[in-house]
Structure 1
Amino acid sequence: MEMKLKFKYASKTASSIWFESNYFPRKETMIHIDDLMKTGRVHDLEIIDEMGNSWSRKEFIKLNKELEKEPENIVVYFDGGFDKESLIAGAGIVIYYDKGGESFRIRKNELLEEIENNNEAEYTALHIALGLLDEIGVKNAPCTINGDSQVVIKQLEGEWPCYEESLSRWLDRIEALIKKLRLKINWVVLNRKDNKEADKLANQALEGTKVHSNKRIE
């Protein structure tokens, strides 16, 4: 999660000037606040997060301890693969996040049946990824989601229409889950070569190798 500061600065003139900072990492918030307060000229200071929530200095000190317990800085990669001969599909998901001052990575794949095409496999992989975010307690948070499927991402962004009934059902499920978790999504379309980790997991699922781990990373 990133934060920004808004405050009134009492200048040496009769005027008071309002300032608003750029966003910066949450862990830097108290450092910036303490530096500003040393001037003795800062009043009505407000801390604002990426979701538009705001707090006073006193409120944020209490909140900051609670935020340490929640996942943040969440980055998701998803990919789906479809085998036309066997009519089975594989989903691959990688999630990076921070919690309590440490960094973690989830790797998961899944063999999918009753999937009609590659686009549906991609949608299913994304739905699984959002389910994993729910499991680790992500809520009311910004999140970057990366995939190499323009169809899925452009349809979810509303740029491309969705005419296929099977895909429309997945789109509705995903939008409902995003709303439930109150996520602010930054969608990123990747080149396939930049989505290798999720792609490898999807292929491993098709080969019968199951992966599911959640480990701390250095």
Structure 2
Amino acid sequence: MKIRIEWSYKIPKGCETIFVSEEMPAETALLIVEDLEKTGRSKALHFVDQFDSKWSIKEMKAYIKEIETEPHNVIAYFDGGYDRDTKEAGLGCSIYYDQNGKTYRRRVNQKLDKLSSNNESEYAALYFTLQELEQLEVHHLAVRFIGDSRIVINGMKQEWAISEDSLTSWIARIEEKQTVLGIQAEYELVPRKANSEADKLATQALKGISIGAVSEINH
């Protein structure tokens, strides 16, 4: 969850003003607030989430403690590949997340048939990623979805109007799944080179190479 800090600051002579931080991970924000409290001059400290809901320090500590044993700080890369001759699609996703003080990467792919276009395979890859998040029991969290498909990223951000029935049906399924999981989706468009991991997984799926692995990431 990305949040910002809001607090009042008062100097000895009595002048006071309000400060608002940039958005940051909840864990980082809590560390900063605990340090601000030590100055003795910061008053009315609280956190504000993406829905403009206010959290007290006590509430934020309880939230962080609750999610520590669950996957959080989730970033999901996704990509879809398509073979026009066979009408088969390769779906790939690489999911990074923190859990129990460690960082993990989950890499998985899938082959899917009876799709009509490369664009449809891209949307199918996003839905496949949500299914994998469900398997990880990711819920009621903000998740960054990163892909190189403009029609998917801009379509999900509602910056492009999507009218093809084959695509709008996938959008409906994606939004329904996000609602069920309570996922607050953030979408980011990147160049294909920056999405090479998910692209490779999708290509391997098309070749019949099945991948499903979780590994710890050492910082």
Q: 2:212 aligned with 1:215, yes or no? A: no
Deviation at 1:15, TM superposition (A): 4.4
Helix, strand or coil for the counterpart of 1:38?
helix
Q: What TM-score, normalized by structure 1, do the two folds share?
A: 0.89
C-alpha contact (below 8 Å) 2:30/2:60 kept by paired residues: no
Q: Which position in structure 2 is the counterpart of 1:174? A: 174
Within a 5 Å distance, the mapping from 1:43-62 to structure 2 comes to 43-62=43-62
C-alpha contact (below 8 Å) 1:50/1:142 kept by paired residues: no
Q: 1:52 to 1:183 in 2, by over 3 A?
A: farther
Helix, strand or coil for the counterpart of 1:85?
coil
**RMSD between superposed Cα atoms in Å:** 2.0
Q: 1:208 to 1:63 in 2, by over 3 A?
A: same
Helix, strand or coil for the counterpart of 1:128?
helix
Measure the CA separation in 1 of the matches of 2:12 and 2:142: 39
Helix, strand or coil for the counterpart of 2:39?
coil
Report the more deviating stretch, 169-178 or 16-25. 16-25
Q: 1:46 to 1:164 in 2, by over 3 A?
A: same
Where does structure 1 lack aligned partners over 5 or more consecutive residues?
A: none
Measure the CA separation in 2 of the matches of 1:155 and 1:42: 43
Measure the CA separation in 1 of the matches of 2:160 and 2:27: 38
Q: 1:71 to 1:210 in 2, by over 3 A?
A: same
Q: Percent identity?
A: 37
Measure the CA separation in 1 of the matches of 2:159 and 2:27: 35
Q: Which position in structure 2 is the counterpart of 1:136? A: 136
Q: Which position in structure 1 is the counterpart of 2:148? A: 148
Q: 2:69 aligned with 1:69, yes or no? A: yes
Q: 1:124 to 1:184 in 2, by over 3 A?
A: same
Q: Which position in structure 2 is the counterpart of 1:107? A: 107
Q: Which position in structure 2 is the counterpart of 1:157? A: 157
The one-letter amino acid paired with 1:100 is N
Q: 2:93 aligned with 1:97, yes or no? A: no
Deviation at 1:112, TM superposition (A): 0.4
Q: 2:197 aligned with 1:197, yes or no? A: yes
